[in-house]
Structure 1
Amino acid sequence: MQSRVSKVAVIGAGPAGLMAASCLAQAGVSVELFDRMPSPARKFLMAGRGGLNLTHSEPLERFLARYGSAAGRLAPAIRAFPPDALRAFAEGLGEETFVGSSGRVFPKSFKASPMLRAWLRHLAAAGVTLSARHHWTGWDADGALTFETPEGPRAVRVDATVLALGGASWPRLGADGGWRAVLEGAGLQVALFAPANMGVLLNWSAHLVPRFAGTPLKRIALACGAEHVRGEAVITAQGLEGGAIYALSRQIREAVERQGQADLVMDLRPDLSLDVLAQRLAAAPARLSFSERLRKAAGLAPVQIALLREGMNARPAEAAALARRIKALPLTVMGVCGLERAISSAGGLAWDEVGPDYALKACPDVFVCGEMLDWEAPTGGYLLQACFSTAVAAAEGVKARLKSD
């Protein structure tokens, strides 16, 4: 007598959902993958427009520390499916990877679309069905999943469900956090969504924006409170964005929430000590103008000189005072950009609702993964790695549950 094949629904066809579907199909489970958008993985494709940063090559302990307060909850999943396993998975799809100079890991194609096409072919060959334009609305009185589709309501009965519904950033790409109402209606706790890896708002002077909006600030350092980072940023019409800003996004957001603003300190020449910089400025010929002195003696670019002038009521007369301002330029962040443009989101389903196997404690046949959980991380490959790793963990939880049943 042939045993019945278990059927699992994976709701959300982003990176986490695709990975969960892959793991389950490989185990011989019948998988139907649902997404409310007309096509899958739209945010994944957006992430790959500038080069798909899959993960990072740094030592695992340092890697795990990037997740802050959620590191303890994410660590078992990431240890079980670490960056090397993700690279092997990508290479199994025909997408070889390489480590960039910053330690970040990219596919050699440097794009998301070739990997996604290969992935979808792999899923189709494994028998996974993709049902697009299916907006999940919860469960009916008999426990079946309910969807709104262009053809009308649909109810689907399965043996287990994986929710991979995403966060709330870039909602036009599919993940808008609308699932929150469904889970809260079921009595589950969901932390408010907030932008992460987002731009920040500053009150630039009228003359800076027309000339320098879109100009990069290279090789700078930033500090917010006790946190210090080195990297790059970009001047925008509203303020600043870029990797160095994103790395401090949690600290900046929490400071704005707490006190209405955040105090940033920018080092325009982190490669020079304060003493060396002061000596160079003091040795500059007296005939040089203020801007020429900054350019030739301090090595500042025009955009850095313009930033230095922001809020400067009087030019420091002494080289030491000018060097201190170059090394510790104060900037006041008045707010942060919203979820509609943030790279990722903080908040989501509370960890207290989730067991170690990524099943809902209140409903052990429903598993969760990806960005819909309450964690955040900086850019650099950490976002996608946690999505993939938690998806594998959820799929393993489903397999164990089906086996026990």
Structure 2
Amino acid sequence: MQSSDLQYVLALQHIPNLGDASAKKLIRFAGSPEAVFKEKLSSLLKIDGIGKIKLQELQDPQHLKAAEKELLFIEKNRVECFYFKEEEYPEKLKHCLDGPILLFQKGRVDLKQKKIISIVGTRNATNHGISFCEELVERLAPLDPVIVSGFAYGIDITAQRAALKNDLQTIGCLAHGLNQIYPKVHNRYVREIEENGGFLTDFWSTDVFDRNNFLKRNRIIAGISEATVVIESAEKGGSLVTADIANSYNREVFAVPGRPGDSQSKGCNMLIKSQQAHVLTDAADLVYILNWQLDEKLKPVQKQLFVELEEEEQKLYGYLKENGKEQLDLIALNCSIPTFKAATLLLNMELKGVVRPLPGKLFEAV
């Protein structure tokens, strides 16, 4: 996008109370961001949901002046900009009505042909939550997913550090401009994340950190992902908001259950109880629901000699050896093992290199 065009997009973003959904309506009606500012107000008033108060702001020259200043910051700091009508804009976010008209990026973000999940949770994570999060990312690593989170304390940064540890791309969605980092203690992770993913935001360099920005930030976390995982949440919290947004986008939501009395499990238990999230007790639950298949070209699992199999794993392996390719549901039925448990066992066996998944939820012995 040329600088002149970008300035008009920025100017639209700068108008208070306009909102991304309304801005998209204006752009589609006028044909371009620049045309919006040159169109007659009488014509724009014909657009459903666009009122006089919003349109009066278009006449204020301060928005183009502010956009010019932000454009200088973008060019000076080599910030990449993704316009919602361009190919580089995250594909899944394009289908979100309130997705930002302009997204700013630093780093090496690559979302093409990628499995993308967001992992969020409480800032006051327990040792159990941290351990589960680290193990989940490690177990998913052979499928090479992109791990998205909010770069916050607790579960968020745990998920992103686990992604780096397992050589996975990770993206931090920020609730402020790219000229700052919150929390400051996480500055130590910035360079490594930028080299193995990066940061996304729709906030300007003039937008200081404000907790009220979290809601706006959370729609990006939910929007660019095909699934959102909640690991530990109190009865109220930002993670539940992200889950709610993900549900509104018709994305899959997973929650890790906990004991009824645990304060940091109340939110997850509520999501499961109200059927707003799938139960997640193992990486295999997510793999099964999303119908992910391991691409052996990415990270092949080498078959080990003298692999030790648990009793139920041996039962599944023997069945597949005798019957050849078979669907998960039939494997579970004929082996008298619950489907969710069979999925977990088969993923364990896949990582041991003794079975491989096939399209159509089929499995075969190696």
Higher relative CO (Cα under 8 Å, sequence separation at least 6) belongs to 1
Structure whose CA Rg is larger: 1
Q: Same fold (TM over 0.5)?
A: no
- Please state which band the TM-score falls in when normalised by the shorter chain: under 0.3
TM-score, structure 2 length as denominator? Answer: 0.25
